[in-house]
């Protein structure tokens, strides 16, 4: 208690349910100026794990348990409060090895560390000695009758009668009277309106005294209008930022027409388009620097050309198999592209595929739309590219026909060689069986039989050479 503070204050008592289970928290921890309430609460939780006999001062709670005790959502939020206890020397954390892995030991300190100059007890906190503190509190111990405002001349209200209602056991603190801000502002506004908006006679309603003759200040001499009334200061409140209400963006008629032509497999009527497809259609309709805008009919024709011309409806079905890895739930194989012509051509996402397809251009001229220059004649680049593609297709067909003829000739030669080899093998086996039967009838068996058969077959192979092995062509 500071010297300038009153000698009396609120009482701290003990209920009839004493004693209770508790953990001893030193006063210097509670009064430490650098520790927040959560840090003190964590220290008390750690101290609750220490045995009461004082054999050890080591606690092993988990960080999740500490977070639950501090009512924190995550265990990592305990770190700043634990670091504060470590910084002031109240806790020391040691890392230990356990069979389950790494763990931490919290070693608690009861007395403040060396060099601590903060409050160690209540006498240091109030700035008084222990004797002075006891003298000031001597008359207000719990051994005396309970001091409430119902007792006349109580120490808290010395010389003032009590205003507590009978039967109310809880003391009520006397504080500044609460006022209704709305009513106060209303009265102030009325006072300002009466003082500023009216003439001299209006000050009577604003609080001006009536003269002895029962007349207002205006009747006395009218000088009241020249005096500045002592009005309370008005609160200046600024208006907050105005909220701008926006309407949904109104789409153009061109976009609405294109939206109606989007295949139902991509987006059902009345639903919002995929943002990428929505942006792609607007890009085609609005154009870009160097890229002329497309009309709704041209965009619709491009959508139909891409979707139906490339059989996107069938390729996006669940039962379509574009490769060996396709399943009804999807396909994880690489997609087919110019750099990967052997990839899977199954469409996994209709919206994103159609958005990319309508933005793709076959012609390097950005003004070309299906072989026609927008606002001009036929596209020369597309014509040349078509001729090149036709010539390439013809060359490919000729090469394929030549390769097929060559392959058929090779297959015929290989079949003839295979047939000759099979005939030679059959003749050799027949000669071996014939000789073996003749020798067995003559009474030759065992190793002598095998020796004579081998000699005869070897001589037969010299007279009838083995045909060449047919070459395997890729």
Give the H/E segment covering residue 384. helix 380-441
d(Cα 191, Cα 198) in Å, to the nearest integer?
A: 11
Angle of CA points 418, 422, 423, to nearest 5°: 120
- Split at pLDDT 50, 70, 90, the class of 398 is very high
Q: What digits encode the pLDDT tens for the residues 445-458?
A: 899 989 989 999 99
Among 47-56, 82-91, 222-231, 431-440, name the one with the lowest average pLDDT: 222-231
Q: What would the mean pLDDT of 423-439 be, rounded to a whole number?
A: 91
Q: What digits encode the pLDDT tens for the residues 78-119?
A: 899 999 999 999 888 888 888 877 778 888 888 888 888 888
For residues 391, 396, 399 and 401, what is the CA-based torsion angle, rounded to 10 degrees?
A: -110
| pLDDT of 459 higher than 70 | yes
Q: Which residue, among 128, 170, 162, 132, has the nearest Cα to 10 in the 3D structure?
A: 170
Q: What digits encode the pLDDT tens for the residues 10-51?
A: 566 555 665 667 777 888 888 888 899 999 998 888 888 877
| pLDDT of 152 higher than 50 | no
Q: What b/e string do you get for 390-415 counting C-beta neighbours within 10 Å, with b at 16 or more?
A: eeeeeeeeeeeeeeeeeeeeeeeeee
Which has the higher per-residue pLDDT, 218 or 124? Answer: 124
- DSSP-assigned beta bridge partners for residue 291: 288
Which has the higher per-residue pLDDT, 242 or 229? Answer: 242
DSSP single-letter state for residue 15: -
Among 232-236, 269-273, 299-303, name the one with the lowest average pLDDT: 232-236
d(Cα 390, Cα 267) in Å, to the nearest integer?
A: 37
Contacts of 17-25 with C-beta under 8 Å, sequence gap 24+, read 23/47, 23/48, 23/50
What tokens appear for 360 in the block? 């793709």
What tokens appear for 355 in the block? 């958005």
> What pLDDT shows up at residue 342?
85
Angle of CA points 93, 99, 103, to nearest 5°: 15
Residues 121, 28: contact at Cβ < 8 Å? Answer: yes
3-state percent helix, strand, coil for the chain, nearest multiple of 5:
45, 5, 50
Domain boundaries, the chain: 27-140, 253-360
d(Cα 312, Cα 277) in Å, to the nearest integer?
A: 15
> What pLDDT shows up at residue 47?
84
| pLDDT of 344 higher than 60 | yes
Q: Which residue has the tokens 């430490």?
A: 32
d(Cα 28, Cα 121) in Å, to the nearest integer?
A: 6
Give the H/E segment covering residue 449. helix 446-463
Contacts of 148-152 with C-beta under 8 Å, sequence gap 24+, read none
- Split at pLDDT 50, 70, 90, the class of 258 is very high
Q: What digits encode the pLDDT tens for the residues 177-201?
A: 555 555 555 445 554 444 444 443 3
Q: Is domain 27-140 annotated with CATH 3.40.50.2300?
A: no
């Amino acid at each position: 208690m500071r010297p300038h503070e009153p000698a009396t204050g609120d009482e701290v008592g003990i209920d009839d349910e004493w004693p209770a289970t508790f953990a001893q928290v030193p006063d210097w921890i509670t009064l430490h100026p650098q520790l927040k309430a959560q840090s003190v609460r964590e220290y008390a939780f750690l101290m609750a794990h220490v045995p009461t006999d004082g054999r050890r001062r080591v606690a092993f709670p988990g960080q999740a348990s500490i977070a639950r005790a501090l009512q924190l959502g995550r265990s990592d939020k305990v770190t700043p409060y634990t670091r504060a206890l470590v910084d002031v020397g109240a806790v020391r954390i040691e890392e230990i090895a356990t069979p389950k892995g790494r763990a931490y030991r919290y070693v608690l300190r009861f007395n403040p560390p060396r060099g601590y100059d903060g409050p160690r007890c209540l006498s240091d906190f109030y700035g008084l000695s222990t004797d002075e503190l006891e003298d000031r509190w001597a008359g207000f111990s719990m051994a005396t009758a309970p001091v409430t405002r119902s007792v006349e001349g109580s120490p808290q209200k010395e010389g003032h009668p009590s205003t507590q209602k009978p039967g109310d056991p809880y003391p009520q603190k006397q504080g500044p009277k609460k006022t209704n801000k709305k009513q106060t502002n209303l009265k102030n506004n009325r006072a300002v309106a009466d003082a500023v908006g009216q003439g001299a006679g209006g000050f009577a309603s604003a609080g001006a005294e009536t003269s002895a003759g029962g007349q207002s200040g205006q009747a006395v001499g009218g000088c009241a209008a020249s005096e500045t009334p002592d009005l309370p200061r008005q609160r200046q409140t600024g208006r907050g930022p105005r909220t701008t209400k926006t309407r949904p963006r109104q789409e153009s008629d061109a976009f609405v027409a294109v939206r109606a032509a989007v295949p139902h497999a991509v987006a059902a009527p009345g639903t919002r388009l995929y943002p990428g497809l929505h942006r792609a259609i607007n890009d085609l309709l609005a154009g870009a620097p160097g890229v002329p805008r497309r009309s709704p009919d041209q965009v619709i024709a491009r959508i139909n050309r891409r979707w139906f011309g490339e059989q996107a409806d069938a390729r996006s079905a669940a039962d379509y198999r574009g490769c060996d890895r396709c399943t009804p739930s999807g396909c994880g194989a690489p997609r087919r592209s110019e750099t990967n012509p052997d990839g899977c051509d199954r469409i996994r996402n209709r919206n994103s595929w159609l958005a990319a397809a309508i933005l793709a251009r076959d012609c390097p001229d950005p003004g070309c739309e299906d072989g026609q220059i927008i606002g001009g004649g036929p596209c020369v680049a597309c014509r040349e590219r078509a001729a090149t593609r036709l010539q390439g297709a013809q060359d490919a067909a000729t090469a394929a026909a030549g390769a097929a003829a060559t392959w058929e000739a090779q297959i015929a030669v290989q079949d003839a060689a295979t047939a000759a080899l099979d005939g030679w093998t059959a003749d050799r086996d027949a000669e071996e069986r014939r000789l073996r039967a003749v020798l067995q009838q003559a009474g030759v068996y065992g190793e002598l039989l095998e020796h004579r058969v081998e000699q005869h077959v070897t001589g037969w192979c010299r007279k009838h050479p083995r045909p060449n092995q047919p070459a395997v062509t890729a």
